[in-house]
Amino acid sequence: MAPGFTKISERVIHQENWFTFLAAEFDGPAGERIERYVFRHPGAVGVVPVDGDDVVLVRQFRPAVEMEMLELPAGKLDVPGEEPVDAARRELVEEAGLDAPEMVELARFHNSAGFSDELTIVYLATNLIPAKPVAVSVEERYLSVERVPLDQVLRLVADETITDAKTIIGLLAALRHLGR
């Protein structure tokens, strides 16, 4: 906890199998009482699958923004006991129909620290191996897999074709890691 801030209470507003929404009260450094809504999240993973000079992305419908997004294969850390790198490999197979024998961690970041504790870990996957995709949600059944040349990534971010935060962070970290 930051110096001068003290948590006073938490009250669960709603809880599901993988998330909790709560109201939390804190006292500030000068005794100010603040209440904030907090979304507790198990965390997530994303994968930057690089095949030669291309990155493999998925385009899928995202209900929260009511549109299709071009993004990294990714998913929640919602399997008890599963290591993040194994979850990343699972998501890569499920969504992109690819596997990777080795993954390198590129970045860890808090998605929206103003209201959620969600931490996302993004990995780089190379030496890709074809695998059978296994859609586990309605959105995944209708997603499309798209290969994008790495030299087009910065343009797609700049022109707002890609607006998903984990995808932007992952792609930029991958480009840096690959020296591109």
User: In this structure, what DSSP letter does residue 64 have?
Assistant: T
Catalytic residue among 139, 140, 146, 160: 139
Q: Is 139 a residue of the active site? A: yes
Assigned token pair, 104 = 């390198």
3-state SS class at 108 = strand
The residues facing 14 across adjacent strands are 21
* Number of Cβ atoms within 10 Å of the Cβ of 104: 14
Core vs surface per residue 130-150: b (16+ CB within 10 A) or e: eeebeeeeeebeebebeebeb
- So which residues are the catalytic ones? 139
